[in-house]
Structure 1
Amino acid sequence: MSTRDDSRPVREEDAFDVEAVATWLRAHAQQNHLTYDLRGTPEVRQFPGGASNLTYLLEWDSQDLILRRPPVGAKARGAHDMGREHDIQAALAPVFPYVPTMVGLCRDESVIGSEFYVMERLEGTIPRRRLGFVASPDEIATLCERAWDVLVDLHGVDVATIPALAALNRGEGYVGRQVAGWTDRMSRARTDDLGDWSPITTWLDVHQPPDRGQCLIHNDYRFDNLVLSPDDLRVTGVLDWEMATVGDPLMDLGGALAYWVQADDDEYFGQFRRQPSHEPGMWSRWQIVEHYAARSGLDVTAEQWRFYEVFGLFRLAVIAQQIWFRYFHGQTHNEAYAVFGPAVAYLEQRCRRILEG
């Protein structure tokens, strides 16, 4: 099995008490009837990204585990609920074979200053800006198809039969709640340099379609949240369930494709690329929409898709603006976040161009 480890030394501001975690795990991992050799203090490294929840690799001599915790300075607990993220994956495991095994959830913030959970590490390659292994365009097209089929499979999970997932369902009106909710988040993350988003938010409010169903949606489905097997071009895992909920499947697809940067996109949008969506053989955004529609049985016209495309880009802009807000006010000093302000301005113009076209 070819694997790739993108972990790096832990950023100073993201460090935590490693021995406290090891002690807690030795006392609590056995409660899940799992057996691990957790003697001693693990080596800890951090995975790249981390604009939202932070992800760390815990390495013992015979065991690798993954720890997830909120970002330093996070105040909005609802947006960084470790228990929710843990419980969704635990509930999905019997019916969706792409989630890692949960090891333990720590609600006691005194251990490291925040809640956290620990899970098993999935073997494989996480493709970030590059695929991470050699494949022909035809093979990449096959991989692309399989990856989007996994999203269709997720949307096909019968949430009504799984109490922990059914509890996430707030019923009809998901699209409206999302438009209103993300508009409010943008307002609350306002900085002096934020442009005028009112024409876009007004258009979204006026043109919102009725819900196309209620299913479990990932809400952050990207190749860099997948674990791939280079040996047989399969998806072996789906990561980062922080924003998963029950809602409209096309809203999930629209959010996912906001991150899908094609080879023929403009140079500035190319800087947004965090996954190998530009590789020869990868599908275009519209090819993905057509494939999803055919596999799911949902009819989607190009005019209908315009709402989901604009909403996905708007939602991405709000996420970027929230991160920029933290950097702008000195809540984080990670210099990687310095580009998020200009990125929000670009996304505003991209949305306007779609509405004008």
Structure 2
Amino acid sequence: MSENPPGLDLDRLRAHLERERPGLLTGPLRGRVIEGGRSNLTYIVDDGTHRWVVRRPPLGHVLPTAHDMRREHTVISALASTSVPVPPTVLLCDDASVLGAPFYVMDYVEGTPYRHRDQLVPLGAERTRRIAEAMIDTLAELHAVDHVAVGLADFGRPEGFLERQLRRWGKQLDASRSRDIPGIDELRERLGVRLPASPQPTIVHGDYRLDNLLVSDDDTITAVLDWEMSTLGDPLTDIALLIAYTEGEALGEEVSSVATAPGFPSVDDLIARYTNTSGRDTSALNWYLGFAFFKLAVILEGIYYRFSQGKTVGEGFERLGASVAPLVARGNTVLKED
């Protein structure tokens, strides 16, 4: 019998799959945690013939409304008929008695999630630029999807989206606050008094960045992953968060360093490509960037909180806490520039 990875009982998973999807499996299951994820736990599981991916919430401290497995499964299933590349889904399980939390299973898709500069450097500047441009174009494709036509009309509440998002992430901060974070309350207050008017709503990924994409050997995007924060809302929140991630030097190696690779487009080039490809007005992007830095700070603080409670799986979490203060400072700076 294979050793169980943390949070994944392989025998119970196999029993559930055999009951719900008879004939799917051809042998005993083996599984391992995919390293690199800092939020939901992701596993590769195989039966000696086929491979799948299992997603479940993290162990321990889980913030309200976060880590929604049904939400991820719903949007991935809906996008299967569109040009946005997503893995085929296999099964959703809301019964927490099976693995201790809801989870879903999807097909394994080949591809590389690029998180670090050192992964891109061997590809050369031309391929790095091509991958970054494909990343932007895929985001524009997502924002062009008719959410009503694919069955996602009730996937979110676009009215008052930005105000609700700011309130939500403020609550997430309060739920994970265990230390003083200079400037974060100032940033939160500034964002609240300068809310822009949102464009027409689209499907929003909520955490769009290069290492949440799988890239093939021919530099095409094979899958967009990690849809736990997806909803209907303001598409500019996605491009702003992507730009915030792109400022990798300020965030540290544990978050992302792809933007420092030769050939990776500048922030201005990324914004210009999205503007031209999507046809959207990005003139008010500074507010969205301020919000993106606030959101990133809250996310990392939540992960650091789980680490401090001994509830994380994997390595590198102790360094994430040091990235929170620079994110807050950058958020305050970009709002002052507006």
Q: Shared fold (TM-score greater than 0.5)?
A: yes
User: By how many angstroms is 1:11 displaced?
Assistant: 9.2
Aligned counterpart, 1:142: 130
Q: Give yes or no for the alignment of 1:106 onto 2:93.
A: yes
Aligned in 2, Cα 1:287/1:134: closer, same or farther, shift over 3 Å?
same
User: By how many angstroms is 1:201 displaced?
Assistant: 1.2
* Matched residue SS, 2:119: coil
* Matched residue SS, 1:258: helix
Alignment match of 2:323 (pick from 332, 338, 343):
343
Write out per-residue CA displacement over residues 2-43 of structure 1, whole angstroms, 9 at most, x where no aligned residue.
Answer: xxxxxxx9996x24211111121122124xxxx63x133222
Report matched runs for 1:20-39 at 5 Å. 20-30=12-22, 36=24, 38-39=25-26
Aligned in 2, Cα 1:192/1:125: closer, same or farther, shift over 3 Å?
closer
Write out per-residue CA displacement over residues 100-123 of structure 1, whole angstroms, 9 at most, x where no aligned residue.
Answer: 111111122111211111110011
Q: Give yes or no for the alignment of 1:159 onto 2:147.
A: yes
Contact 1:124 1:227 in 2 (8 A): yes
User: By how many angstroms is 1:47 displaced?
Assistant: 0.6
Moved more, 332-341 or 244-253: 332-341
Alignment match of 2:290 (pick from 300, 307, 310):
310
Aligned in 2, Cα 1:45/1:149: closer, same or farther, shift over 3 Å?
same
Aligned counterpart, 1:19: 11
Alignment match of 1:297 (pick from 271, 275, 279):
279
Aligned-partner Cα distance in 1 for 2:32–2:45 = 7
TM-score, structure 1 as length reference = 0.86
Aligned counterpart, 1:122: 109
* Matched residue SS, 1:236: strand
Alignment match of 1:282 (pick from 261, 264, 267):
264
RMSD of aligned alpha carbons: 2.3
Alignment match of 2:165 (pick from 168, 175, 178):
178
User: By how many angstroms is 1:182 displaced?
Assistant: 1.4
Aligned counterpart, 2:334: 354
User: By how many angstroms is 1:222 displaced?
Assistant: 1.2
Aligned in 2, Cα 1:200/1:132: closer, same or farther, shift over 3 Å?
closer
Larger RCO, structure (CA 8 Å, separation 6 or more) = 2
User: By how many angstroms is 1:273 displaced?
Assistant: 4.0
Aligned-partner Cα distance in 1 for 2:101–2:297 = 27
* Matched residue SS, 1:256: helix
Q: Percent identity?
A: 34
TM-score, structure 2 as length reference = 0.91
Contact 1:10 1:45 in 2 (8 A): no
Aligned in 2, Cα 1:82/1:10: closer, same or farther, shift over 3 Å?
farther
* Matched residue SS, 1:45: strand
Q: Give yes or no for the alignment of 1:73 onto 2:60.
A: yes
User: By how many angstroms is 1:126 displaced?
Assistant: 2.1
Aligned in 2, Cα 1:131/1:29: closer, same or farther, shift over 3 Å?
farther
Aligned counterpart, 2:230: 244
Q: Give yes or no for the alignment of 1:61 onto 2:48.
A: yes
Aligned in 2, Cα 1:270/1:112: closer, same or farther, shift over 3 Å?
closer
Aligned in 2, Cα 1:346/1:176: closer, same or farther, shift over 3 Å?
same
* Matched residue SS, 1:25: helix
User: By how many angstroms is 1:65 displaced?
Assistant: 0.7
Q: Tell me which amino acid in the other structure corresponds to 1:325.
A: Y
Aligned in 2, Cα 1:91/1:356: closer, same or farther, shift over 3 Å?
closer
* Matched residue SS, 1:207: coil
* Matched residue SS, 1:147: helix
Write out per-residue CA displacement over residues 51-86 of structure 1, whole angstroms, 9 at most, x where no aligned residue.
Answer: 211000112221011111111114446212212211
- Structure 1 residue runs of 5 or longer lacking an equivalent are 1-8
Write out per-residue CA displacement over residues 131-151 of structure 1, whole angstroms, 9 at most, x where no aligned residue.
Answer: 368433123222221221000
Aligned in 2, Cα 1:279/1:210: closer, same or farther, shift over 3 Å?
same
User: By how many angstroms is 1:334 displaced?
Assistant: 5.5
Aligned-partner Cα distance in 2 for 1:273–1:171 = 29
Aligned in 2, Cα 1:27/1:342: closer, same or farther, shift over 3 Å?
same
Contact 1:261 1:270 in 2 (8 A): no
Count matched residues: 335
Aligned in 2, Cα 1:120/1:145: closer, same or farther, shift over 3 Å?
same
User: By how many angstroms is 1:299 displaced?
Assistant: 2.3
* Matched residue SS, 2:182: coil
Aligned counterpart, 1:6: none
Contact 1:50 1:71 in 2 (8 A): no
* Matched residue SS, 2:260: coil
Aligned-partner Cα distance in 2 for 1:78–1:122 = 27
Report matched runs for 1:195-274 at 5 Å. 195-230=182-217, 232-261=218-247, 265=249, 269-274=251-256
